[in-house]
Structure 1
Amino acid sequence: MWTPKRVLVTRSAAERPHGQRILARLDTAGVQDVELLRGDRLPNLRGEGDRAAFMAAKDTMAVVVGAPSQRKLQPIPPSADWRFDLAQGCPAHCQYCYLAGSLSGPPITRVFADLDEVLTDLDGYVGRGAVTSGTAERGGEGTTFEASCYTDPLAIEHLTGGLATAIAHFGTHGWAGPVQLRATTKFDDVAGLLDLPHGGRTRLRFSVNAQSVARRFEGATSPVAGRLAALRAVAAAGYPVGVTVAPIMPVEGWRQEYADLLDGIRAAAGDADLTVECITHRFTPGSKATLTDWYPRTRLEMDEEARTTKRGKFGSVKHVYPKETMAELRSWFERAVADRLPGARLLYWT
């Protein structure tokens, strides 16, 4: 489990109940370098832009209070109606990390100490979503809240307890309508979640991939076999579960590798309430520049000439697999999921 080499705690964060709980966990975990700041501004953490500065940032955790703008939730299609953040940043070293194109500044992990207030605010969003709530395809999920858009919450759970706090809140709170908390992870330490009063209102999903992809590109994460064992454990504890197969890559022998993965998922999930989300690999010019700076020896394929360029409505550029490749991948996965996971629901393909 990750132990940060340096922790910075802002004054307002240290005053919050969740911030105090985090400080107690840091002490229990034996984290040595915990600095209580006099104010709410973090020091300059950019360093010199070299490899050492990057590693120092990845080894740093900051406990902060989120900006007021973060309290106004945004939809996060195709995953959920709304996104709220337990943290931003992740200690893992995935060489395709999409956070490289989503978060600016040094890659420290920022944990939000105002979690209790954020959870209280969620009441105002129940029944107002458009991704799952009120839709014909996914209306049974209720109003959904994604807690792992910008972090892997299980990677830092032993230091923060934030995921357990959110799960217990969703499971015991008197909501105005059906709700679901959603979180996904590449880690397997779920022991602290098994006995929580989740009430079936949290879907824990595990991000999994072909063995060759996971071994080559997913540094400092739990092995896929460990993630599937964790899926089995939380399913046995009554949680609805899911797998996020991402990012899908047409590597050599991909059909057999992904078939083996789906068979492993079937063995782990049994007859649990299981969903599947499929996300193909893509990158932006900005994320490629950042990732090649972070991981200069990466062998991840990011060749613009071998991709199709998609443009967003505001001019954003994204490089995805060519139409023929995407069609082949999608057709194979839709058939394979139906054959190998007949009781699962395939939520989306992207």
Structure 2
Amino acid sequence: MQTQRLLDIRRIYVEPEAARLPRGREILDRFPDAELVEIESHHRIPELYGDETNVARWVRIKTEALVLGIKKSLTARPNGRSADWIAPSTANGCAMACAYCYVPRRKGYSNPITVFANIDKILGYVRRHAGRQGVKPEPNQVDPSAWVYDIGENSDCSLDATISDNVLDLVRLFRDLPNAKASFATKYVNRDLLDWDPRGRTRVRFSLMPAADSKLLDIRTSSIAERIAAIDDFVAAGYEVHVNFSPVVVREGWLESWAELLDQLDAGLGPQAKAQLAAEVIFLTHNDRLHEVNLGWHPKAEDVLWQPELQQPKRSQTGGWNVRYKTGHKGRYVAALTELIEAKLPYCRIRYAF
């Protein structure tokens, strides 16, 4: 997928402090024709966030708007699933438009990319945090020896790398940290990353699902075939490459579709990629507020995402309702899929499944 199809930046909302930093100036220079709109805070832009009339302009805003700000709170949060730690983000939001994405639940009715210009402070914080951890005392499901930091919890780093050098700077940082690795999940194949020489210290997790599901739900992303085709190349370039089977959507014929995907993946991988492969398996969690947003711009997605007869609600931390597959039923779904993975990809370690 060509970047220009995803991004046609025409307006940049800018915090003045961000515009004065070297990284901020670099980003502004990349889009010299964009209109600049000064803002007090990247969190508070009324015409972007919280305005339900933006639903009809969902994709257009993602394509044309960019936010440039300062990351003020620098913390590394414990995780234990995808990573040991969630690193301070260098961006949030996305130009892609996956129908199940949780970020719009927090940001309102639009979530264009926000890039943080104070990359030097973020890098310094991560370097010091990793230094304080010392040697990892024992293996865990995340990694046998390295502390793993997820650097893309709220964005897609492969796409972020087309806007700024923040992700490149992080890959270079972890390349030289003896006790830590970077990790990020992606649905976008950016082959510029193949020239970065990560030396095994960055883990790329390609998100995969059956092609029919992806066509319906993974809007504006690289195709599943393109993601699978990239795995061998990323391994050869020095990345550790895992896969995220995520989100798993239960529908009629879902297990048969996953069997086809697993066969496709097996056929597309060479020996080097297979030898280091591991997977995360994550079943769908949906949200009532996102359901309402989707009905405004992509209602067909809700035919498979919103299934009250299969799902049970749970109050979210933000006050809405998350829905997930019903207790008992979900356990059977997880067992069925993990057994299928073990049969089709016996070399692929399942790091966790839920």
Q: What's the TM-score once normalised by structure 1's chain length?
A: 0.86
* Cα pair 1:235 1:269 within 8 Å, conserved: no
Separation in structure 2 between the aligned mates of residue 111 and residue 264 of structure 1, nearest angstrom: 35
Quickly say closer, same or farther: Cα 1:104–1:134, change in 2 above 3 A. farther
SS in 2 for 1:258: helix
Separation in structure 2 between the aligned mates of residue 261 and residue 297 of structure 1, nearest angstrom: 22
Counterpart of 2:46 in structure 1 is: 44
Q: Which amino acid aligns with 1:19?
A: G
Separation in structure 2 between the aligned mates of residue 347 and residue 102 of structure 1, nearest angstrom: 28
SS in 2 for 1:80: coil
User: Is 1:92–2:96 an aligned residue pair?
Assistant: yes
Q: Which amino acid aligns with 1:196?
A: W
Q: Which has the larger displacement, 159-168 or 194-203?
A: 159-168
User: Is 1:286–2:289 an aligned residue pair?
Assistant: yes
Q: What is the alpha-carbon root mean square deviation over aligned residues?
A: 2.7
Q: Which amino acid aligns with 1:178?
A: N
Shift of 1:15: 2.0
* Cα pair 1:263 1:340 within 8 Å, conserved: yes
Counterpart of 1:145 in structure 2 is: 149
Separation in structure 2 between the aligned mates of residue 216 and residue 238 of structure 1, nearest angstrom: 32
- The C-alpha deviation readout for 1:161-216, integer Å capped at 9, x for no partner, is 32222112211x3x3x52110011111122x1112131210001111111111011
SS in 1 for 2:239: coil
Counterpart of 1:195 in structure 2 is: 195
Q: How does 1:164-179 map to 2 (within 5 A)?
A: 164-171=168-175, 173=176, 175=177, 177-179=178-180
Q: Which amino acid aligns with 1:185?
A: T
Counterpart of 1:76 in structure 2 is: 79
Q: Which has the larger displacement, 315-324 or 93-102?
A: 315-324
Shift of 1:264: 2.4
Q: How does 1:1-350 map to 2 (within 5 A)?
A: 1=3, 2-3=6-7, 4-27=9-32, 32-35=33-36, 37=38, 43-46=45-48, 49-50=52-53, 51-59=55-63, 60-67=65-72, 69=73, 71-83=74-86, 84-104=88-108, 106-126=110-130, 134-171=138-175, 173=176, 175=177, 177-190=178-191, 192-270=192-270, 271-272=272-273, 273-298=276-301, 299-310=303-314, 317-350=321-354
Shift of 1:217: 1.4
Shift of 1:134: 4.1
How many residues are aligned here?
A: 338
Shift of 1:349: 0.8
Identity %: 24
Shift of 1:105: 6.1
Separation in structure 1 between the aligned mates of residue 78 and residue 94 of structure 2, nearest angstrom: 21
* Cα pair 1:12 1:40 within 8 Å, conserved: no
Quickly say closer, same or farther: Cα 1:25–1:324, change in 2 above 3 A. same
Quickly say closer, same or farther: Cα 1:128–1:317, change in 2 above 3 A. farther
Structure 1 unmatched runs, 5+: none
Structure 2 unmatched runs, 5+: none
Q: What's the TM-score once normalised by structure 2's chain length?
A: 0.85
Separation in structure 2 between the aligned mates of residue 87 and residue 300 of structure 1, nearest angstrom: 30
Separation in structure 2 between the aligned mates of residue 107 and residue 133 of structure 1, nearest angstrom: 39
Shift of 1:128: 6.6
